[in-house]
Amino acid sequence: MPASDALDSDALFELESPSPDAVGFAELALLPLDELVAPDWAGVLAPVEPQLRDVLAFLGGEVAGGHAILPAPSNVLRAFRQPLSDVRVLIVGQDPYPTPGHAVGLSFAVDGATRPIPRSLANIYRELDADLGFAPRIHGDLSRWADQGVLLLNRVLSVRAGEAGSHRNKGWEAITAAAITAVAHRVRADGTPAPLVAILWGKDAGTVRPLLGSTPVIASAHPSPLSAARGFFGSRPFSRTNALLREQGDGTVEWELPPLP
């Protein structure tokens, strides 16, 4: 169903809610919050639910106005399908890749079939090799990291195709701020902080530091080709993250990705 099609009022009462995988942005704005995100995310995002519905409606208006929006509706909230309770590492990005076919709803990741991979991701792989000796991959599928509790969260969750930064200050920042605050302030049953390490690459990511409380932070320059040589290369974020997780009694992340997705 095209994003610009409106659901008539009778249909809302006569039909079951459509699947988030089968609707456009405007229709997503009408779905219950717990159908858009994992149940524990729905609880902590409830205070910003009005802002979330507003920004989804805004995206519907963008599509109706003829703009191509990335990522696809089915992926725009993908980061929040991973249960909040599983998060061990937070990697904050800026906004989705504006190149059609690249954005998949996880910061820095692309679809496994995308060739070549973005240069920022290639630099991440270069640092991973230097840090832990894992050979760079030709694909950009980072779902193995997400499956281990690495939250790959962009600060802004959508973009017009070909227009980097075009959806800043449209409402996403309040939503992702609430999410980051929730991640950082979880506690275990004994009242101690839940294990977490935050990786902040670049100035934009650094702006969330006040939301993180006492969370250990690994910060450096962004992996973009414009800045990677100014502090990203040599920062060893992967081994340092694992060391900090071990200090918190939470094991490690297996950062090596499969050769093919």
The domain that holds 237 is classified in CATH as: 3.40.470.10
Inside any domain, residue 44: no
Q: Is the peptide bond before 2 cis (omega within 30 degrees of 0)?
A: no
Q: Determine the number of helices (DSSP H) and then strands (DSSP E) in the chain.
A: 10, 6
State the residue range of the domain holding 227. Answer: 70-247
Intervals of the chain under pLDDT 70: 1-22
- pLDDT for 19 equals 55
Q: pLDDT, tens digit, for every residue of 41-86?
A: 999 999 999 999 999 999 999 999 999 999 999 999 999 999 999 9
- pLDDT for 11 equals 31
Q: Which one, of 224, 225, 251, 222, lies nearest residue 235 by Cα? A: 222
Inside any domain, residue 183: yes
Inside any domain, residue 211: yes
Beta bridge partners of 198: 90, 217
- pLDDT for 23 equals 86
Rounded CA-CA distance 148/90 in Å is: 11
What sections of the chain are H helices per DSSP?
A: 9-14, 25-28, 33-36, 39-45, 49-64, 119-132, 143-147, 172-184, 203-206, 237-247
Beta bridge partners of 90: 151, 198
The residues that are catalytic are 95
- pLDDT for 1 equals 39
- pLDDT for 102 equals 96
Rounded CA-CA distance 141/60 in Å is: 27
Inside any domain, residue 103: yes
CB of 145 within 8 A of CB of 253?
yes
Inside any domain, residue 74: yes
Inside any domain, residue 47: no
Q: Which one, of 214, 169, 206, 197, lies nearest residue 253 by Cα? A: 197
- pLDDT for 13 equals 29
Q: Which one, of 244, 181, 199, lies nearest residue 108 by Cα? A: 199
Inside any domain, residue 150: yes
The tally of domains found in the chain comes to: 1
CB of 89 within 8 A of CB of 199?
yes
User: What is the pTM assigned to this prediction?
Assistant: 0.91
